[in-house]
């Protein structure tokens, strides 16, 4: 079983690379992929760079070039659901693209013909996450994550995403990775730790909490990897 572990930013995969220790680096399409074996499980690790286009490229490369059979994404998100505090973990049940808009032609937000408004993640990976959380005594919430090519930092945009998609959190890569994996029949799991509340100036709390929340998410992902079949 070969597992892909993606983040969007270097900080999101640094704790994972540190944990695996040794790895082989390969450069493809202006990005670096790290192959490692952790506890007998073959891993391919990479950060995609921010946004839906780069994350699509990385997920596709992991699957087509490296033969990844299961995809795990670890990173940070802006919280929408007030129950989610900074540092809390959210597992995506389903994801949508909040900035995909052909409503001009009568379609709902986030929908294009041939696609679907929401894409679901793998139920058995989600179950594994909740088993691991219980074992660790960690609070884990499931919910809807909205993805778009925008760092959301104003209350109006946040309110639009909440009311249109009933989203609990938002970020910039999850839905594109999920669409790629869904299309290619690769089970996908998206985990995010809350870094900010998506309604204030980015400089306010993002940098302060991004690194610590990224580590919370990465550490949890590695606990899941320890439980995956070799
Ligand atoms: N990732 C973490 N916080 C975010 C925000 N406010 N907007 C988009 N992506 C994010």
Atom of ligand 1 nearest to the CA of 77: 2
pLDDT for 143 equals: 98
CA 56, 169, 187, 32 torsion-angle sign:
positive
pLDDT for 230 equals: 67
pLDDT for 207 equals: 80
pLDDT for 43 equals: 98
In this structure, the residue with its CA closest to atom 4 of ligand 1 is 78
* CA 24 / ligand 1 centre spacing (Å): 30
What's the rounded Cα separation, in Å, for the pair 131 and 219? 15
Q: pLDDT (tens digit, 0 to 9) for every residue of the chain, 230 residues total?
A: 899 999 999 999 999 999 999 999 999 999 999 999 999 999 999 999 999 999 999 999 999 999 999 999 999 999 999 999 999 999 999 999 999 999 999 999 999 999 999 999 999 999 999 999 999 999 999 999 999 999 999 999 999 999 999 999 999 999 999 999 999 999 999 999 999 999 986 666 688 899 999 999 999 999 999 999 76
Domain containing 15 equals 2-228
Atom of ligand 1 nearest to the CA of 197: 6
Phi, psi torsion values for 60, nearest 5 degrees:
-65, -40
Six-digit token string for 183: 């299309």
Pocket perturbation via mutation, ligand 1, pick of 86, 173, 192, 206 by most ligand atoms within 8 A of CB: 206
The CATH number of the domain holding residue 99 is 3.40.50.1580
Atom of ligand 1 nearest to the CA of 76: 2
Residues with Cβ within 8 Å of 102's Cβ and at least 6 positions away in sequence, in order, are 111, 112
Residues with Cβ within 8 Å of 148's Cβ and at least 6 positions away in sequence, in order, are 52, 97, 98, 99, 100, 161, 170, 172
Q: Note the pTM of the prediction, 2 decimals.
A: 0.97
Six-digit token string for 5: 């572990």
* CA 82 / ligand 1 centre spacing (Å): 15
Domain count for the chain: 1
* CA 137 / ligand 1 centre spacing (Å): 26
pLDDT for 23 equals: 98
What's the rounded Cα separation, in Å, for the pair 38 and 143? 29
pLDDT for 202 equals: 60
Residues acting as catalytic residues: 12, 196
Judge contact between 172 and 121, C-beta under 8 A. no
């Amino acid at each position: 079983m070969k597992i892909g572990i993606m983040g969007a930013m270097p900080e999101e995969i640094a704790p994972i690379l540190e944990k695996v220790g040794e790895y082989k680096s390969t450069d493809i399409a202006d990005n670096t992929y790290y192959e490692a074996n952790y506890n007998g499980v073959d891993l391919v690790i990479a950060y995609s760079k921010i946004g839906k286009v780069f994350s699509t490229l990385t997920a596709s490369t992991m699957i087509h070039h490296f033969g990844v059979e299961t995809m795990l994404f670890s990173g940070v998100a802006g919280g929408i659901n007030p129950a989610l505090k900074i540092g809390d973990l959210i597992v995506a049940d389903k994801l949508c693209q909040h900035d995909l808009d052909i409503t001009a032609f009568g379609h709902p937000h986030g929908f294009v013909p041939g696609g679907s408004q929401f894409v679901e993640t793998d139920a058995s990976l989600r179950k594994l996450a909740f088993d691991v959380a219980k074992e660790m005594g960690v609070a884990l919430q499931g919910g809807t994550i909205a993805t778009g090519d925008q760092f959301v930092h104003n209350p109006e945009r946040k309110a639009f995403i909440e009311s249109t998609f009933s989203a609990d959190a938002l970020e910039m890569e999850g839905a594109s990775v999920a669409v790629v994996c869904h299309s290619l029949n690769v089970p996908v799991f998206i985990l995010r730790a809350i870094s900010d509340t998506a309604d204030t100036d980015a400089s306010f709390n993002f940098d302060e909490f991004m690194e610590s929340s990224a580590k919370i998410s990465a550490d949890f992902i590695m606990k899941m990897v320890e439980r995956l079949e070799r």
